[in-house]
Amino acid sequence: MIRVQEQDFDINQEYQALLNNDSSSGAVVLFVGRVRDLNQGHQVSQLFLEHYSQMTEKYLAQLEQQAMELWPLENVSIIHRVGELKLEDKIVLVAVSSTHRESAFEAAQYLIDLLKANAPFWKKELVDGGKNRWVNANHKDKIAAAQWS
> What is the contact surface with another protein in residues (CB under 8 A)?
33, 49-52, 54-55, 58-59, 80, 91-92, 112, 115-124, 134-138, 141
Is 77 within 8 Å of 16 (Cβ atoms)?
no
- Taking the C-alpha atoms of residue 75 and residue 95, their distance in angstroms, rounded to an integer, is 8
- Give the binding range for a second copy (CB under 8 A) out of 5-13, 46-54, 59-67, 121-129: 5-13
Site for a second copy in 112-131 (CB under 8 A): 112
Q: Is 144 helix (H, G, I), strand (E, B) or coil?
A: helix
Beta strands per DSSP E along the chain: 2-5, 27-34, 38-39, 42-51, 73-81, 83-86, 90-98, 121-127, 131-134
Among 108, 115, 126, 127, contact with a second copy (rule: CB under 8 A): 108
- Taking the C-alpha atoms of residue 45 and residue 58, their distance in angstroms, rounded to an integer, is 31
Judged by beta carbon distances under 5 to 8 A according to partner kind, the member of another protein, a second copy, none in contact with residue 42 is none
Binding site for a second copy (CB under 8 A): 10-12, 15, 19, 22-39, 87-88, 99, 101-102, 104-105, 108-109, 112, 144
